Structure 1
Amino acid sequence: MTASAKDVPAELDDEAVLLVGHGSRREKSNEQVRTLAARMEERLGVPVDAGFLELAAPSIADAIAGLAPTVSTVSVVQLSLFAASHVKNDVPVAVRQARTAHPELTIHNGSHLGVHPAIIDLLDDRAAAVESALGIDRATDDVAVVLCARGSSDPDANSDAHKLARLLYEGRPFSRVETSFIGVTEPRLNETLHSVAKHRPDAVVVLPYMLGDGVLTERVRDRTAEFDDDYPYVDTGAGDPLGIDSRLLDVLADRWQEARTESVEMSCDTCKYKVELDGYEEDTGGARAMLRALTHNETHADRENVADDPHAHDAPEKHVTVCTNQTCATDGSPAVLERLRQEARDSDACDVRITRSSCLGRCGDGPMVTVSPDGIWYGGVDTDDVERIVSSHLDRDRIVSDLVDQTL
């Protein structure tokens, strides 16, 4: 039942939620995000809008701009299964830019769906539905489960898929619950299915760990059907994705509460941007992640002349960030930031966006100024250096070599 105005606590009168989905060229997938937003609004009793990272409208920036005139607080809730680059890079960058564009607005950034008991319960039901369709019973038959996620270049995200599989196994009479991926990383679904078949279970249940019926879910079903044909002695079936389920709303409600109370906990101890992990050493450093996210957005600008291309972004030629964390701020970075903005406004040649950033990890060498997508970091910048950065680098693409701290 939709909450009426009198049912909404006073402290929520001036608050809204932005549910952020990835965005898809399949409008059916985008409609699922909008439907979840409407269901969240019914559940929470506060306005909930949907926004998208790419491929669909509105963008995060446009969605927040639409909410800004009516509320003073927006809590961003991310409809992402795991914490990979979109969660760690793209959404925080978009939120940071929105805070700059709307200084009067308080914007809380929430976390992804992650590992949650309600999701384990939902996966258990998806498995039970496949068992029923196959005419098998986990209590008496040997049933193996394969949880198939998308796959990521982020080991932290992939490890959470394994954790979900283990939690699904614990306390249930499955003979095994294996983790696989449909792309990017290993083990791939085909490999896992053939490995499971060697144990000759009575049945294999494949659970596509996706939100909706998109391209990847269909690919999981196709691979499962091919395996079923190749192994007639094993009953095999693929389950439904998470879909629009009340338990998914339970998780989103928890993530909203964490965001609005600023109690979000991210897995920083195993984040490849925070600690050095074997094979991912070059990714270490939050600033590098941030610059890659900015570069990702700007590369889409190359497509802006393609008619009706939903993947195009109206991005500037360059993006300049100025560290305003405590050490750099003490050394004068706020004055550098304002002088940069003033010089850029006065220039007729540069196409640039200038924003503040949090710590860039070069404390003591600042104020730090970065220029993306060029990958140039300037250190020890003071207000007298700003005119050279603008007139030389931003206007004419000539790096100010004596100020360079490092390059990416």
Structure 2
Amino acid sequence: MKAVLYICHGSRVKEASDQAISFVKECMKENDYPIQEYCFLELSEPSIEEGFKTCVEKGATTIIAVPVLLLTAAHAKIDIPEVLDELVKAYPDVALHYGRPIGVHEKMAEIVIAKIKQSELYVKNKSLVLLVGRGSSDPDVKRDLREISDLVERSLDGVKVEDCYLTAASPSFEAALQAASNSQYENIIVIPYLLFTGILMNTMRKTINGLSNSNKNYALCNYLGYQPAIASILKDRIDEAAGAKLYVPING
């Protein structure tokens, strides 16, 4: 019997964890696998180990593990696989497939575009968009978010899109916001490229309040949240993984 295990990041903020669970439950409706469970890499429960065990206890002989992560980074390439390596050893009779994160996709650019157009500050040739990622030392994060920024910019005439990051990558959100305040643009639209709420949303609000130039207009949009388009991408990632080769442990 086949199972899907949705692996979310996790958060110290209960509201964010609750949103992740609600998000995944909506995504589950798009898939007809008999067993579907959610779990978290860190900071929230159930853990990946617990989620995997639940799938097995429900009769799963094949598990498709898919990271519910926006961008390609160390979590998807190293941290989650390190846990899966141990699970492969613990459950040698269970076939495991591992999917890709959401990554670069034109539907993600469309979601960002819709948020920009919904902003009261959206004005052609007068709007600068800051697309704000969580950030990582992994260069693939910058590559992915810059590619999405480029897709958005090409689709919106007269709108400039800059990518920036909250941690571990440059330019930092603070530096990008300061540059925006000194730019020619009158309207600064900030879009958090985050799936759920959390501490980082509060950080952005405080930063905007602290650096706001009275000659500029600032708008902080909401995080992405559940979107049918994201559920569709995750379904594609699940189907892709199901048809791929079995998971090969990163350590042999």
Q: What amino acid sits opposite 1:64 in the alignment? A: F
- The one-letter amino acid paired with 1:48 is Q
Secondary structure of 2:97 counterpart = strand
Q: Is the 8 A contact 1:129 1:239 kept in 2?
A: no
- In structure 2, the partner of 1:245 is 227
Aligned partners of 1:51, 1:106: CA distance in 2, in Å? 18
Contact kept? 2:126, 2:185, Cα under 8 Å:
yes
- Structure 2 residue aligned with 1:257: 239
Q: Which runs of 5+ in 1 are unaligned?
A: 1-13, 265-286, 291-356, 359-408
Indicate conservation of the 8 Å contact 1:16/1:75, yes or no: yes
Following TM superposition, by how much is the alpha carbon of 1:165 offset from its aligned partner in structure 2, in angstroms? 1.1
Q: What TM-score, normalized to structure 2?
A: 0.91
Higher alpha-carbon Rg: 1
Q: Which amino acid aligns with 1:98?
A: L
Shift of 1:29: 1.4
Q: 1:152 pairs with 121, 130, 136, which one?
A: 136
SS in 2 for 1:103: coil
CA deviations over 1:72-109 (Å, ceiling 9, x no partner): 21111101122222111121122222122112211111
- Aligned equivalent of 1:49: 37
Instruction: Work out the CA distance in 2 between the residues paired with 1:221 and 1:252.
Output: 30
Deviation at 1:152, TM superposition (A): 0.7
Residue type of the alignment partner of 2:8: G
Q: Which runs of 5+ in 2 are unaligned?
A: none
Give the corresponding residue for 2:87.
Answer: 98
- Specify the SS of the correspondent of 2:129: strand
CA distance in 1, matches of 2:205, 2:193: 12
SS class of match (1:166): helix
Q: Does the 8 Å contact 1:34/1:49 carry over to 2?
A: no
Q: 8 Å contact 2:66–2:99 — kept in the other structure?
A: yes
1:137 aligns with 2:119: no
For residues 56 and 238 of structure 1, the distance between their equivalents in structure 2, rounded to whole angstroms, comes to 27
Contact 2:109/2:148 (8 A) holds in 1: yes
Instruction: Report the equivalent of 1:175.
Output: 159
CA distance in 2, matches of 1:40, 1:68: 21
Q: Deviations over 1:34-87 (max 9, x none)?
A: 112211221112232111112222111111111113122111110112222211
Q: Is 1:63–2:61 an aligned residue pair? A: no
1:297 aligned residue: none
Secondary structure of 1:242's aligned partner? coil
Distance 2:15 2:237 in 1: 24
Provide, for residues 125-154 of structure 1, a one-character-per-residue CA deviation record: whole Å limited to 9, x for no partner.
122222x2x4x433xx51111111111111
Is 1:188 paired with 2:172?
A: yes
Deviation at 1:198, TM superposition (A): 3.1
8 Å CA contact 1:142–1:202 kept in 2: the answer is: yes
Q: Which amino acid aligns with 1:30?
A: S
Task: Report the counterpart of residue 193 of structure 2 in structure 1.
Answer: 209
Aligned residue for 1:113? 102
Compared with structure 1, are the counterparts of its residues 24 and 171 closer, same or farther at alpha carbon in structure 2 (3 Å cutoff)?
closer
For 1:31, the aligned partner's letter is D
* Match for residue 112 of structure 2 among 119, 123, 126: 123
Distance, in Å, in 2 between the alignment partners of 1:227 and 1:257 is: 45
Which of these residues, 183, 204, 222, is aligned with residue 206 of structure 2? 222
Question: 1:168 aligns to what SS in structure 2?
Answer: helix
SS in 2 for 1:236: strand
> Hey, what's the Cα distance between the residues in 2 that align with 1:227 and 1:246?
35
> Take 2:222 and 2:158, find their aligned partners in 1: how far apart are those partners?
19
In structure 2, the partner of 1:198 is 182
Equivalent pair of 1:40/1:48 in contact (CA under 8 Å): no
8 A contact 1:148–1:189 mirrored in 2: yes
Distance in 2 between residues matched to 1:124 and 1:144, nearest whole Å:
13
Match of 1:7 in 2: none
Deviation of residue 158 (structure 1)?
1.9
Q: Per chain length, whose mean CA-contact separation is higher, i.e. which structure has more relative contact order (CA < 8 Å, sep 6+)? A: 2
1:263 deviates by: 7.2
For 1:40, the equivalent position in structure 2 comes to: 27
How many percent identity over aligned positions? 24
**Contact 1:16–1:73 (8 Å) recurs in 2:** yes
User: What amino acid maps onto 1:137 in structure 2?
Assistant: V
Q: Which amino acid aligns with 1:216?
A: L
Structure 1 distance, partners of 2:172, 2:52, is 38
Aligned mates of 2:42, 2:159 — CA distance in 1 = 40
Question: In the alignment, is the contact (CA less than 8 A) between 1:38 and 1:48 conserved in 2?
Answer: no
